[in-house]
Every structure is written in C-alpha cells, then in structure tokens.
Amino acid sequence: MEHYVIKGGNALSGEVEIAGAKNAALAILAASIMTNETVTVENVPDVSDIRAILKVIATIGAHVEQIDRHTFRINGSAIKKGEPVDNELVREIRGSYYLIGSLLGKYGKAAVALPGGCNIGLRPIDQHIKGFRALGADVRLVSPGMVVAEAEELTAAHIYMDVVSVGATINVMMAAVKAHGYTIIENAAREPHVVDLANFLNSMGAKIKGAGTDVIRIRGVEYLHGTNYSIIPDQIEAGTFMFAAAATKGDITIKNVIPKHLESISAKLTEVGCQIRESGDAVRVVANRRLLHTNVKTLPYPGFPTDMQPQITVLLGLCKGISIVTESIFENRFKYVDELTKMGASITVEGNTAIIDGVEKYTGANMDSPDLRAGAALVIAALAAEGDSEIYKIHYIERGYEDFPEKLRHLGAEIRKVDDENQRRRFQYRIS
C-alpha cells in the first residue's frame, strides 16, 4: 500500500513555490462551464480533487483540454440541460456540489449527486438549498442521494445566511449571477476563494460587488462570455509549509503567496516566537529555538482557518507550556490526536477543545492519515520527530497537496513515497 516513510529531525530550509488554491480551483472549474464560450484557467493545482472535478465536467459533456501541467482550456457548450451528474467521483469530492449552482444558473436545472469530502463533521447543505429556493428554484432531494434544483426563471432575492458558509456563498453566488434582478447575500463568507470566484465570474461578464465583505451584491446578467484567468495561490498549502518551518526549527521562504491571506497564520507564528518576514509575494519563517504556547480558535476568514487547525496543534504540541485550541467550525476535527499521541504528544480533547501540554520532542510512529489537512499535519509531526515514521492513507493528503514529498525533500526533509516493502527498505537503508 502506498505510504510515506519519513526520517525526522532535519531542520527544513530553503525556498518552496506554492501551487494554485485547490478550493478556489474547484469553484472556478465548476463555474467555467457556465458560458458556451471557451475559458482558459491557469495556475490550476495538480492534485487529485482537481483531477476529479475536471473528469466530472468532462463526463457531463464539457470539452477539457490540458495545455500544460497547470493550464486548462474548457468549453461547456455541449453539456445537455438536466443531465444527471452522478458517478463515483462526484460523490467523492466535496466541490462537485458547486455544479448545482453553476448548472442551475446556466440551464435553470441541475441534478447532482450529494457531495463527499473529508469526514470532519456533519457538513449539511441547508444554506445552499435555502439560497437556491430564495432565487425561485424548486429544490428536491431524490433518492439515492441526488439534489434536483430547477426553476422556470431564477429571480433575484435578498438572502441572509444563517451560518457563514464558504460553500453556500459560492453556490448561491453562481446561481444568482444569472438570476433576473439584484441579489444581496448577507452574512456571506469572506474567504479568499470566494473573492477569486467572484473575480473569475466578473471576468466572464458577471456583475458581482462586495466579495470579500459579508454583503455580496449581484446584478444578474443574461450572458457570460469566455475568459482567461489565473487562480490565486493556495493559502492553506502556504500555511502548512510555514508550520513545517516552525515545527522543525527551520528557515523556509514560501514563494508565490499573497501575504495578506496568511495574516492570521503569521500572527500566531509570531506569538509563539517565530520570525516572519514578508516581501512582495513571499513570506519567510524562521524558528531557531523552542517556541512558546498560545491559544487559538478557528473562525471564518479573516480568523484562523479550520483547515490549519491540525497543523497548529502539531506545532503547539512541541511548544513550551499549555496551549488551548478551540475548533468552532467543524465538530469532528480532532480525530488525528490519537495518532499524535502515539508520537508522545500530550493532548486532551474535550468536546471542541484540545488542551495541549507541550512536550520537548515527538518520536517516530506509524500512523494513518484521517483526512486531508490532518494528514499533512502528521507529516509535519513526523518531520519534527526523532526517528522514523510511516504515514498511511496518503490519498487524503494527495487530494490537496501538489508534489508534497518532493517539495519537502527540496527543503532537506527525508521523506519518500513508497508502495512496497522493497522500496521502504531501500529508502531506510539509504538514509540510516
């Protein structure tokens, strides 16, 4: 079975280039079929979730042409109205539910299988449905696990989201772009990928204002046209490398980032004693001593991201003193703590709070990655640990990190993806 073998203990140093944002790409690729003209999307990350959404849109009739590793030309003119979107891939990736918003907006009808994604909590879609209904759509859940949304004509509405939801904001924004009149979404999510999708849609002729604030205003348009667009850098991939620098007492310059998107992460790293230097599109993180405890609570953007919660917990597990991490977005996001305990971490989880008593060091262990971000966090723990670790179920990590072992090796890590015992032995022999 494919897994990572890691020999910990090296301080990571050097430069790393960040890929395009996976979560922005999922939304933008789903929206790219809303026009019958050709759309070119650059800086698309080469990760399995994105390969999956590209296959899904190709399966329903879009023409998808790969220009280079990170650039795709997409034409959605051959997609048929109302065609059910359902196969194994659709159900695997969470982002496939963006096809409800995009197909409903384009054709007035969408039939899409319910989403999968990481098992980090209940993840309901009531706010998406509420928004579609407010725009005049009839939305039904039909078995087995399909959402069917249709409208004679979408009409603008004043929508108040009951919770701040990235997915619902994105989905409703896509449908509203083609609704007649002036839609207002209140209590909207402000995440960078919401803004990136709005910029993308505007480059196709949509009229969206206020993305990045909690009130988004959309003047519906009849027609969307082709565009060329480059996706923003991945804030979470960047943050993961920032924590890898801190946990290994390293010195990493993270390039091709938007430092503004990383402020909540930089602030926490500064609090625990790292030096952060921002310059243009790069952030350098230097940690040359044992770091100090702090508290953190996950919040919607611009708060500390839930997708960085496992990574900061891994770091705080090595910081001097007692730290408290509170998870306020998803209810089931501390499953990785059992794995971390195998490495010697001292962490107690009570409900949505982890109480962390920092230890001097972790020791290598064999672990399963429970989901995408927790998997990446366990890799950081293994890199910081004394001794060897093996991390299994790495397909989760590959959903969202492009060339993760290669990028880490370039920074001086001893990590190898192996898929049989011979490869594992060869790697361990070489580095011992």
Residues forming the active site: 118
Give min distance, CB of 303 to ligand UD1, in A: 10
Q: Which of 102, 240, 253, 306 lies at the binding interface for ligand UD1 (CB under 6 A)? A: 306
Give min distance, CB of 263 to ligand UD1, in A: 16
Q: Which stretch binds ligand UD1 (CB under 6 A): 60-68, 83-91, 123-131, 314-322?
A: 123-131
- Of 4-63, binders to ligand UD1 (CB under 6 A) are 23, 26
Binding status of residue 186 toward ligand UD1 by CB under 6 A = no
- Is the CB of residue 93 less than 8 Å from the CB of residue 118? no
Cβ count near 278 (within 10 Å): 14
Of 19, 113, 8, 116, nearest in space to 371 by CA: 116
Of 126, 224, 230, 116, nearest in space to 174 by CA: 224
Of 322, 266, 323, nearest in space to 297 by CA: 323
Q: Among positive and negative, which fits the CA dihedral 110, 113, 119, 125?
A: positive
Cβ-proximal residue to ligand UD1, closest one: 167
Binding status of residue 128 toward ligand UD1 by CB under 6 A = yes
Of the pair 53, 411, the CB lying nearest ligand UD1 is at 53
Q: Which of 73, 91, 123, 426 lies at the binding interface for ligand UD1 (CB under 6 A)? A: 123
- Of 337-396, binders to ligand UD1 (CB under 6 A) are none
Of the pair 147, 367, the CB lying nearest ligand UD1 is at 147
Q: Which stretch binds ligand UD1 (CB under 6 A): 13-21, 301-309, 342-350, 377-385?
A: 301-309
Between CA 297 and CA 305 the distance in angstroms is 9
Binding status of residue 329 toward ligand UD1 by CB under 6 A = yes
Of 138, 261, 259, 127, nearest in space to 188 by CA: 127
Between CA 122 and CA 332 the distance in angstroms is 8
Binding status of residue 307 toward ligand UD1 by CB under 6 A = yes
Of 83, 143, 151, 80, nearest in space to 114 by CA: 143
- Of 159-178, binders to ligand UD1 (CB under 6 A) are 163, 165-168
Give min distance, CB of 279 to ligand UD1, in A: 27
- Is the CB of residue 72 less than 8 Å from the CB of residue 40? yes
* Binding interface with ligand UD1 (CB under 6 A): 23, 26, 94-95, 121-128, 163, 165-168, 189, 305-307, 329-330
